[in-house]
Structure 1
C-alpha cells in the first residue's frame, strides 16, 4: 500500500491511496474460507462446498468490503500519523469507473486543512465586564413583593389604586371570554387606571386593549390569547367586575423570615435585605458572565483573521447533509455556520495553548456541585456525600449529559481565561440600567 499527498495550497490537499492485491488478498481468502465452512448451499454438505463456488457467489462482495475497510483504516491512520488537522472529513473524488475485476486500486480524497493563525486575547479596546448590583430601590421593591405575596386579601366594596380585581374580559368578535384577576399596578397609564378606580362589583368597564398593560405577556394572560395575537392587539373589550380585594402586607417578623429561609437563618429586616441583595446579585452575576462570554467571543471572531477552505467545506456540507442540497443551499448553510466554525477553531487553539483540558474528577466535582445546588432549591441543604456521588454517577453514565456538562465546564474555564488575559474594564451598574444599556 502507498499513500501520497499533494498540497494544492495551504488549505487544500489531495491524498492518493494505492492498494495492491497483496494488501487484501490474505484477508479475503480467510473470510471466504470461513464462509465455506458455514455456508448452506443446496446439493452440498456443510463445509464441503467447493471453494470455486464460494468465490463465485461471495468473492466480489467480500473483496470490495475488505478494500473499503482497508481504505478507511489506512486513511485514518495516515491522518493521525501525519498530524493533519482537517476540517470536516476527507471527501472521496468521484470514481464511476472503478474496475473491481482488477487486482490493484487507486483512490483519491480531497482534504480541507485547518489554517494556521494566532489568537490575541488582549485587544487594544477594553471590553466591558459588568458588575450588576441590586440597589436600594430594587431591594425595597422585592421586600414589598414578598409582603404582598404572604399578606392576606381583604374584600372591598370600591376599587382603588393598588387593589386586585377579579372579573371577566369579553369580546364576542374575537371569542374572548376569560375570567381572571388583575392587579391595578400592572395597568399602564393613569387614564386606564382611573377607569378602574371607584368601580364596584357588577360594574362593566370598557376600554381598548392597545396600551392597556405595560407588558404584552400580561395582556396575553388576561385575555387568554396567543403571544402573536396579543402583540399589537387593538380591540375594544369589556371587563365585568366580580370581586374587589386589597392585599394587606404581611408583617416583617420572625414568622415570615422562617417561612422564607428556614428557622433562625434570618433574624431581622436588615438581614432580610442583605439576603435579598446577595441572592439577586448572584443571579445577576450569571447574566453578566454570559454577556462577557458573548462579547469576548465576538471580539475573538472579529479580530482573529484567517482563511478557510470555503469551497471544500461547501462540498462537504452538500455531501453530508441529511437532505439533498443544491450548490446554492450548501453555500447558504456554509454562510450560516462559518462564524461558529471560526470560533470552534479559535477555542480549540486556546484550549491547546492554555492546557484547558477537562479531567474526569473535575467533571464529577462540577456535576456534584450542580446537583447540590438543585437539591438546595427544594430545601435539601446538607445532602450526604454518598448520595451526591450516586446521583453524579448516574448522570455521568449518560453520554448526552457528559457532553452537556463538559461544554458548560469548558465555558467556565474559557471565562476564567478571558478574565485573566483579556483587556477588560469593570463597570458597576444597577440591573435596571444594565437592561437598558445592553438590551435597549
Structure 2
C-alpha cells in the first residue's frame, strides 16, 4: 500500500492511496474460505461447496468490503501520523472508469485543511465587562416580597391597591378560561384599576387586554396564553371576581430571619439586606459572565482573520447529508454555519495555546456544586456528602451530561482567561439598567 499527498494550496490537498492485491488477498481468501465452510447451497453438502461457486456468489462483495476497510484504516492512520488538521472528512474523488475487476486499485481524496492563524485576545477597543449590583430599590422590594410571602392572608369584601384577587378570565373566541390569583400591582393605569376596585365577590367586568398590564408577559399567567400571543394581544376578556385578600406583612424579627437563614446568620434588618444583596450579586455574576463571553466571542470572530477552504466545505456539505443538496442549498448551509465554524477554530486555538483542560476531578467538583445549587432551590440546603456523591455518580455515568457539564466548565475557564488577558473596561450597573442596556 502506498499513500502520497499532493499539496494544492495552504487549505487544500489531495491524498492518493494505492492498494495492491498483496494488501488484501490473504484476508479475502480467509473470509471466502470461512463462507465455504458455512454456506448452505442446494445440491451441495455443507462445507463441500466449490470455491469457484463461493467466489462467484460472494467474491465481489467481500473484496469491496475488505478494500474499503483497508482504505479507511490507512487514511485515518495517515492523517494521524502526519498530524493533518482537517475540516470535515476526506471526500473521495469520483472515478468514472473505476474497475473492480482489476487487481490493483487507486483512490483519491480531497482534503480541506484547517487554516494557520494567531488569536489576539487584547484588542485596541475595550470590551465592556458589566459588574451588576443590587441597588437599594431591588433590595427593599425583595424585603417587602419576603414579608408578604410570610405574612398573614386576610380576606376582604372590597378591592384596594395592593390587594390580591382570585377570579376567572374568559374569552370564548380564544377559548380562554383561566382561574388565577394576582396582585393589583400588575394592572396598568387608573382606568383599569378603578374597574377592579368597583368589584365585589361574584361581580364580573369586561376588560380590554391591550394596556391591561404593566408587562405583557403577565398575560401569559393571567390568561394562560402563549408567549407569542401575549405580545400585542388585543381582545376583550370577562373577569369574574371570587375572592379579595390582602397580606399583613410579617414582622422583621429573629423568627423570620431564622426561617430564611437557619443558624443565626441573620440577626437584623441590616443583616438581611446585606444577605439579599450578596446572594443577588452572586447570581448576577453568571449573567455578566455570559454577556462577556458573548461579546468576546463576537469580537474574536470579527477580528481574527483567516481564510477557509470554502469550496471544499460547500462540496462536503453538499454530499455528506442524508440526501445530496443543490449548489444553492449547499451555499446557503455554508453561510449559516461559517460563523460558528470560525469560532470553533478560534476557541480550539485559544484552548490549545493556553493549555486549558478539564480534568475528571474538576468536573466532579463542578458537578457537586451544580447539584447542591439545584437541591437548595428545592429546599435541601444541607444535603449529606453521601447523597451528593450518589447523585454525582449517576450524573457522570451519562455521557450527554458529562459533555454538557464539561462544556460549561470550559466556558468558565475561557471567561476567567478573558478577564485576565482581554482588553476590558468595567462598568458598574444596577440589574434594571443592565437589562435595559443589554436587551433593550
TM-score, length basis structure 2: 0.94
- Mapped partners of 1:280, 1:378: distance in 2: 18
Alignment partner, residue 92 of structure 1: 92
Partner of 2:19: 19
Deviation (angstroms), 1:323: 4.0
Give 1:383 deviation, angstroms: 3.9
Query: Are residue 367 (structure 1) and residue 371 (structure 2) matched?
Result: no
Q: Within 2, Cα distance between the matches of 1:230 and 1:382?
A: 40
Partner of 1:185: 185
The whole-number CA distance in structure 2 between the counterparts of 1:78 and 1:97 is 26
Gaps of at least 5 residues in structure 2 are: none
Mapped partners of 1:373, 1:217: distance in 2:
27
Listed one character per residue, the Cα deviations across residues 222-254 of structure 1 (whole Å, up to 9, x for unaligned) are: 233333333212223333333222211111122
Following superposition, the deviation at residue 263 of structure 1 comes to: 4.8
Of 33-42 and 67-76, more deviation after overlay is shown by: 33-42
The 2-side partners of 1:101 and 1:170 are apart by: 77
Residues 1:254 and 2:254 are matched in the alignment: yes
Q: CA deviation at 1:172?
A: 4.3
Alpha carbons of 1:294 and 1:246: their partners in 2 closer, same or farther (altered >3 Å)?
Answer: same
Work out the CA distance in 1 between the residues paired with 2:160 and 2:435.
31
Aligned pair count reads 440
Matches for 1:396-407 after TM superposition, within 5 Å: 396-407=396-407
TM-superposition CA deviations, 1:411-438 (whole Å, max 9, x none): 1111111111111111111101111111
Aligned residue number for residue 108 of structure 1: 108
Is residue 2:431 matched to residue 1:431?
Answer: yes
Q: In 2, distance between residues paired with 1:35 and 1:327?
A: 44
Q: Any idea what SS the aligned residue of 2:433 has? A: helix
Partners of 1:404 and 1:171 lie apart in 2 by 43
1:357 and 2:394 equivalent? no
8 Å CA contact 1:160–1:198 kept in 2: the answer is: no
Tell me which residue corresponds to 2:339.
Answer: 339
| Contact 1:12–1:309 (Cα < 8 Å) also in 2 | yes
Match of 2:281 in 1: 281
Q: CA separation in 2, counterparts of 1:148 and 1:386? A: 37
Provide the C-alpha distance between the structure 1 equivalents of 2:276 and 2:372, rounded to a whole number of angstroms. 21
Name the Cα RMSD after superposition.
1.9
Larger mean Cα displacement after TM superposition, 196-205 or 251-260: 196-205
Deviation for aligned residue 1:288: 0.3
Cα distance in 1, alignment partners of residues 114 and 288 from structure 2: 33
User: 1:164, 1:386 → 2: CA distance?
Assistant: 43
* 1:33 has 2:26 as partner: no
After superposition, residues 204-243 of structure 1 pair within 5 angstroms as 204-243=204-243
Distance 1:197 1:384, change over 3 A: closer
Structure 1, residues 156-182: CA drift from partner, whole Å, max 9, x if none? 222111112223334444444433333
Counterpart Cα distance in 2 of 1:113 and 1:319: 18
- 2:294 corresponds to: 294
